[in-house]
């Protein structure tokens, strides 16, 4: 498959999803450009996970469409890897860490030695060299989520879809994982979509933050995060612009009108390219 | 490890040793025709094994129980995996399976002897029939009980069905399959004896029947003891196999394990109704 087929925008058009008579998502439109980092944020029960499952092809929309490039996403695609919130359930406890990471490759008929090499490479990329022979349940929560990310990388997808990926780990591990994902995106040029309820996390990570709201949920705001590519936990979060953006997202989630986006301070314009 | 192992072994051994010593000493002076001294029973067992044809009986019985149980494991697990994977099949087969399980297999003895005669085949068939249900039903519920997150992961990483069956469904259901085999083993031992008491010229069941009806009570006790030892020996073997197959399961922290022992007990109650 050519690279232009592999790297394509993921677009959602007029997406509706109902469970029986209960509508969860309505008339939802969004588009994610290749190589971008998009955070989808919304309150609990807003249908974030439903949206992610539609994006990943695990769930069929009631109407409307999800497309990757010009192909419909009506089943999981080889270009999209999913990292689930529940790492405990999503890593297979009867397989060693290395086998877990390499498992999707086994389905593609990759040879045993190539699988092994690739798994070790991906484990090293997430900062876990040398744990391949352990079982997932011998690792801490943060480390298990790193293994899940390594599996996504080994799958060699162009898009990494993450559902509340850091929701179940402690705060310190969470910061490390956020920076890890930022670094992976920068190094590998992959598209990352993170679904989260954490506004600070969404602003810290994303190039763009898409706010879901309403009952049934739809996109109520879509803002560009002009904080540049180089972010760090201490300074980025202390920027006045960071505070402005998080205030805007929070206001929207709380049901307020979109305040006009204040012009960013001049010194930040440089990084806005 | 060796020290704790030794302590644990001693802790498990002292009571059986004490019971044997008490039995041996306490019954040594017995003149009761029906309850001969324990030492005589053991002696009779040894003598009959050495040159009374009991070894032949033991071999006959052992072959049958292994063949019947082995067949039940193969059929039960394969059918259980398929039925467990298909909700509709599971639903439509439910009542039939419940009926089959609720009918005591011993009730089939006359019919089986009539149709299959008195060779090894009817015994193997009977043991197979009785052991099948606990294995089949436990496999089905083991497949049903697999964490949905595991299945979702397999789907999103496009694991082909053969690989999914072999590396996801089968290992995921194994803890409960093993619990089913444990129950099946005790059923199989009962059926082995019963099948040899009715219409059989050979086997352990036949030995105790034969010696009993010729009032060789010590021999009968010896044979009964041997049946107990056979059952116990098989369950020890099973336990060892279990620990090899389920290393990952037993080493995990207890809070994430399902209580399959409890399930097996419920199953046993259902069987002995």
Res. A21 pLDDT band, cuts 50 70 90: confident
| Residues 61-80 in A contacting B (C-alpha not used; CB under 8 Å) | 76, 78, 80
Cα end-to-end distance, chain A, whole Å: 31
Is residue B204 located within the same domain as residue B255?
yes
Is residue B3 located within the same domain as residue B94?
no
Domains of chain A: 3-79+159-272 (3.40.50.300), 86-156 (no CATH)
Q: Say if residue A25 is exposed, middle or buried (CB neighbours under 10 Å; 0-12, 13-18, 19+).
A: buried
Is residue B17 located within the same domain as residue B89?
no
Closest chain B residue to the Cα of A92, Cα to Cα: B150
Torsion from C-alpha of B233, B237, B239, B244, nearest 10 degrees: 170
For position B81, what pLDDT does the model report?
Answer: 93
Strands A22-32 and A10-19: antiparallel
Domain extent at residue B16: 1-30
Residue A139 sits at the chain B interface (C-beta within 8 Å): no
For position A174, what pLDDT does the model report?
Answer: 87
Cβ within 8 Å, pair B152-A137? no
Chain B residues touching residue A90 (CB < 8 angstroms): 149-150, 152-153
Reduce the DSSP state of residue A129 to 3 states and report it. Answer: coil
Shortest CA gap B172–chain A (Å): 8
3-state secondary structure string across A140-207: CHHHHHHHHHHHHHHCCCCEEEEECCCCCCCHHHHHHHHHHHHHHHHHHCCEEEEEECCHHHHHHHCC
Is residue B143 located within the same domain as residue B15?
no
Task: State how far the Cα of B38 lies from the Cα of A57, in Å rounded to an integer.
Answer: 70
For position A266, what pLDDT does the model report?
Answer: 46
- Under 8 Å CB pairs connecting chains A and B tally to 70
Window from A74-88, A174-188, A217-231 with minimum mean pLDDT: A217-231
Chain B residues touching residue A89 (CB < 8 angstroms): 147-150, 153
Q: Work out the average pLDDT over A139-164.
A: 90
Is the model's pLDDT at B260 over the cut of 70?
A: no
Average model confidence (pLDDT) across chain A: 85
pLDDT in tens, B129-174: 999 999 999 999 999 999 888 999 999 999 999 999 999 999 999 9
Is residue B89 located within the same domain as residue B134?
yes
Cβ within 8 Å, pair A104-B157? yes
Cβ within 8 Å, pair A95-B153? no
pLDDT in tens, B55-82: 888 899 999 999 999 999 999 999 999 9
Count CB-CB contacts under 10 A for residue B135.
29
Is residue B66 located within the same domain as residue B200?
yes
- Domain count of the fold of chain B: 2
Res. B269 pLDDT band, cuts 50 70 90: very low
Q: Work out the average pLDDT over B17-26.
A: 89
- What is the phi/psi pair of residue A156, to 5°? 60, 45
Q: For residues A145 and A153, is the Cβ–Cβ distance under 8 A? A: no
Q: For residues A41 and A233, is the Cβ–Cβ distance under 8 A? A: no
For position B199, what pLDDT does the model report?
Answer: 76
Cβ within 8 Å, pair A94-B171? yes
Chain A residues touching residue B171 (CB < 8 angstroms): 92, 94
Res. B250 pLDDT band, cuts 50 70 90: confident
In percent, the amount of chain B with pLDDT more than 70 equals 92
Q: For residues A202 and A224, is the Cβ–Cβ distance under 8 A? A: no
Chain B residues touching residue A81 (CB < 8 angstroms): 156-157
Chain A residues touching residue B156 (CB < 8 angstroms): 56-58, 76, 80-82
Is residue B116 located within the same domain as residue B14?
no
For residue A262, give the DSSP letter: P
Task: State how far the Cα of A152 lies from the Cα of A62, in Å rounded to an integer.
Answer: 28
Cβ within 8 Å, pair A84-B153? yes
Is residue B180 located within the same domain as residue B229?
yes
Q: Work out the average pLDDT over A195-222.
A: 88
Is residue B17 located within the same domain as residue B146?
no
Cβ within 8 Å, pair A106-B253? no
Torsion from C-alpha of B145, B146, B152, B153, nearest 10 degrees: 170
pLDDT in tens, A68-125: 988 888 889 888 999 988 888 889 999 999 999 999 999 888 899 999 999 999 999 8
Window from A13-17, A238-242, A265-269 with minimum mean pLDDT: A265-269
Closest chain B residue to the Cα of A161, Cα to Cα: B156
CATH of the domain at B206: 1.10.3720.10
Q: Quick one: which of B256, B79, B77 has its CA closest to B150?
A: B256
Candidate from A84, A104, A107 with C-beta closest to B152: A84
The residues, ordered by sequence, that sit 6+ positions from B140 with a Cβ below 8 Å of its Cβ are B80, B83, B84, B90, B97
Res. A268 pLDDT band, cuts 50 70 90: very low
Is residue B69 located within the same domain as residue B24?
no
The residues, ordered by sequence, that sit 6+ positions from B212 with a Cβ below 8 Å of its Cβ are B220
Is the model's pLDDT at A267 over the cut of 50?
A: no
Q: Quick one: which of A22, A43, A26, A17 has its CA closest to A213?
A: A43
For position A44, what pLDDT does the model report?
Answer: 80
Task: State how far the Cα of A211 lies from the Cα of A189, in Å rounded to an integer.
Answer: 24
Task: State how far the Cα of B190 lies from the Cα of B186, in Å rounded to an integer.
Answer: 7
Is the model's pLDDT at B270 over the cut of 60?
A: no
Res. B261 pLDDT band, cuts 50 70 90: very low
Chain A residues touching residue B163 (CB < 8 angstroms): 106-107
Chain B residues touching residue A84 (CB < 8 angstroms): 149, 152-153
- What is the phi/psi pair of residue A26, to 5°? -140, 130
Cβ within 8 Å, pair A151-B174? no
Candidate from B158, B159, B252 with C-beta closest to A137: B252
Q: Work out the average pLDDT over A234-259.
A: 80
Predicted-complex ipTM score: 0.85
Shortest CA gap A88–chain B (Å): 9
Chain A residues touching residue B167 (CB < 8 angstroms): 92, 95, 103, 106
Is residue B20 located within the same domain as residue B132?
no
Where helices occur in chain B by DSSP H, the ranges are 2-26, 38-51, 54-85, 87-102, 109-116, 120-144, 148-156, 161-164, 170-197, 204-213, 217-245, 247-251, 260-271
Is residue B11 located within the same domain as residue B104?
no
pLDDT in tens, B178-225: 999 999 999 999 999 988 888 788 888 888 888 888 888 888 888 888
For position A3, what pLDDT does the model report?
Answer: 56
pLDDT in tens, A25-36: 888 889 999 989
For position B129, what pLDDT does the model report?
Answer: 92
């Amino acid at each position: 498959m050519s690279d232009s087929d592999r790297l394509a925008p993921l677009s959602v058009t007029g997406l509706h999803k109902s469970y029986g008579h209960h509508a969860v998502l309505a008339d939802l439109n969004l588009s994610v450009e290749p190589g971008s980092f998009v955070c989808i944020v919304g309150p609990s029960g807003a249908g974030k996970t439903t949206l992610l499952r539609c994006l990943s092809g695990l769930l069929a929309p009631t109407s409307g469409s999800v497309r990757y490039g010009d192909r419909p996403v009506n089943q999981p695609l080889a270009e999209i890897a999913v990292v689930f919130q529940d790492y405990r359930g999503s890593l297979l406890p009867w397989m060693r860490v290395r086998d877990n990471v390499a498992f999707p490759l086994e389905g593609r008929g990759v040879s045993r030695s190539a699988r092994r090499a690739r798994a070790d490479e991906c484990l090293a990329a997430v900062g876990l060299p040398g744990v391949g022979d352990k079982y997932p349940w011998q690792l801490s929560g943060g480390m298990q989520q790193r293994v899940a990310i390594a599996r996504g990388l080994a799958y060699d997808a162009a898009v990494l879809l993450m559902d509340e990926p850091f929701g179940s780990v402690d705060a310190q591990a969470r910061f490390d994982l956020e920076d890890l994902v930022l670094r992976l995106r920068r190094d590998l040029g992959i598209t990352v979509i993170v679904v989260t309820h954490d506004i600070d996390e969404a602003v810290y990570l994303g190039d763009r933050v898409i706010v879901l709201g309403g009952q049934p949920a739809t996109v109520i705001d879509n803002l560009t995060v002009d904080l540049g590519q180089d972010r760090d936990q201490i300074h980025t979060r202390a920027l006045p612009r960071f505070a402005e953006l998080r205030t805007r997202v929070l206001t929207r989630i709380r049901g307020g009108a979109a305040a006009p986006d204040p012009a960013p301070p001049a010194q930040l314009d440089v990084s806005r390219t | 490890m060796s020290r704790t192992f030794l302590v644990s072994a001693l802790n498990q051994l002292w009571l059986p040793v004490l019971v044997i010593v008490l039995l041996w000493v306490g019954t040594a002076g017995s003149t009761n025709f029906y309850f001969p001294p324990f030492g005589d029973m053991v002696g009779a067992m040894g003598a009959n094994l050495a040159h009374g044809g009991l070894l032949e009986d033991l071999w006959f019985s052992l072959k049958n129980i292994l063949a019947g149980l082995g067949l039940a494991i193969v059929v039960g697990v394969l059918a259980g995996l398929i039925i467990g994977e298909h909700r509709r099949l599971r639903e439509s087969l439910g009542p039939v399976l419940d009926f089959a399980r609720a009918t005591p297999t011993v009730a089939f003895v006359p019919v089986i002897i009539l149709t299959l005669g008195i060779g090894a085949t009817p015994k193997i068939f009977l043991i197979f029939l009785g052991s099948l249900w606990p294995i089949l039903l436990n496999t089905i519920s083991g497949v049903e009980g697999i964490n949905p997150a595991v299945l979702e992961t397999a789907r999103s990483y496009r694991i082909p069905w053969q690989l999914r069956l072999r590396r996801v469904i089968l290992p995921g259901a194994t803890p409960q399959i093993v619990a089913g085999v444990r129950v099946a083993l005790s059923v199989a031992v009962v059926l082995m004896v019963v099948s040899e008491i009715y219409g059989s010229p050979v086997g352990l069941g036949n030995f105790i029947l034969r010696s009993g009806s010729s009032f060789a009570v010590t021999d009968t006790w010896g044979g009964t003891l041997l049946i107990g030892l056979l059952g116990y020996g098989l369950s020890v073997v099973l336990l060892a196999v279990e620990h090899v197959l389920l290393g990952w399961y037993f080493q995990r922290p207890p809070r994430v394990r399902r209580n399959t022992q409890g399930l097996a007990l419920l199953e046993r109650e259902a069987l002995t109704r």
